[in-house]
């Protein structure tokens, strides 16, 4: 079977009736009455004969059409239908980071405690979506994510930056599991964020200060869990002072 040349493709004129110019390996050019020249790849997957659109000439040259055909043939050899693969990629490109993040968040509603859910919601809606929410999740780069985290670091919120990175990782892993991403971009940021520096507060050792603390706790009327926490802190402070 003769193989097409670039000049044949370029000189193909609009006909009264559409026709096909065949290349090789299932690749052909469909020339329509309007003059449109469309690349098609005809292949067999299992028992079915399928057709894959490879683009329009001259946007897709003859050389590029052959490259696309060869890529499709490699997928078939690996047991992957190239038409299905193309649909998956198209769907992935239409899924923004914000859409995937909110879907992940909704799935965690029953699993998270109310306080944890509220914090995750704040992280996604206030710290992430305003900056990268509209970006297709498959096109997001680690540098775009780093810029988001650096904004937090500049405000002295290093711990929040680390927690936001962890949330992003969970969202990316969810996107991978649901076929809308192929890798977790946060992995490329290991070691890129400023470390979280913890500050140890000195224990109370002066009896007068301990007495003032106990009086303040005794006069506090608030949430029971807070009262218990304060009481435990007081016992620790007293224990340190006694040693």
For residues 185 and 171, what is the distance between their CA atoms, to the nearest angstrom?
Answer: 10
Q: Which distant-in-sequence residues (6+ apart) come within 8 Å of 29 by Cβ?
A: 4, 9, 12, 20, 21, 23, 37, 38, 39, 40, 57, 65
| Biggest CA-to-CA distance, the chain | 103
Look up the CATH architecture of domain 97-189: Orthogonal Bundle (1.10)
For residues 38 and 58, what is the distance between their CA atoms, to the nearest angstrom?
Answer: 9
What was the pLDDT predicted at 198?
66
Tens place of pLDDT per residue across the chain (243 aa): 558 999 999 999 888 899 999 999 999 999 999 989 999 999 999 999 999 999 999 999 999 999 999 999 999 999 999 998 888 777 766 789 999 999 999 999 999 999 999 999 999 999 999 999 999 998 899 999 999 999 999 999 999 999 999 999 999 999 999 988 889 999 999 999 999 876 655 665 666 666 665 666 555 555 554 444 555 555 555 555 445
Query: Please, what's the b/e burial string for 8-26 (b: 16 or more CB within 10 A of its CB; e: otherwise)?
Result: ebeebeeeeeeeeeebebb
Cα 35 → chain centroid: 40
| DSSP H or E segment with residue 18 | none
Neighbours of 164 (CB within 10 A): 22
Topology given in CATH for the domain delimited by 6-78: Double Stranded RNA Binding Domain (3.30.160)
Neighbours of 78 (CB within 10 A): 7
State pTM to two decimals: 0.51
Show the tokens assigned to 145: 């994510």
Give residue limits of the domains in the chain. Answer: 6-78, 97-189, 207-242
């Amino acid at each position: 079977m003769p193989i097409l040349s670039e000049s044949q493709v370029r000189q193909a004129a609009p006909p009264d009736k559409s026709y096909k110019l065949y290349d090789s390996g299932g690749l052909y050019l469909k020339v329509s009455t309007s003059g449109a020249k469309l690349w098609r790849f005809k292949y067999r997957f299992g028992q079915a004969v399928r057709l894959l659109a490879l683009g329009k000439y001259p946007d897709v040259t003859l050389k590029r059409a052959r490259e696309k055909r060869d890529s499709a043939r490699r997928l078939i050899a690996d047991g992957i239908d190239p038409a299905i693969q193309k649909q998956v990629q198209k769907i992935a490109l239409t899924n923004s980071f914000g859409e995937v993040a909110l879907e992940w968040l909704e799935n965690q509603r029953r699993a998270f405690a109310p306080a944890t859910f509220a914090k995750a919601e704040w992280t996604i809606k206030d710290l992430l979506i305003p900056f990268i929410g509209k970006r297709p999740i498959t096109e997001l780069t680690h540098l775009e994510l780093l810029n988001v985290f650096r904004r937090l670091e500049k405000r002295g919120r290093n711990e929040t930056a680390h927690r936001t990175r962890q949330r992003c990782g969970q969202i990316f892993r969810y996107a991978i599991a649901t076929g809308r991403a192929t890798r977790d971009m946060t992995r490329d940021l290991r070691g890129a964020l400023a470390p979280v520096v913890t500050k140890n507060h000195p224990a109370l050792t002066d009896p007068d200060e301990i007495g003032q603390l106990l009086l303040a706790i005794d006069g506090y009327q608030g949430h029971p869990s807070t009262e218990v926490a304060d009481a435990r802190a007081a016992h620790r402070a007293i224990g340190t002072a006694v040693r």
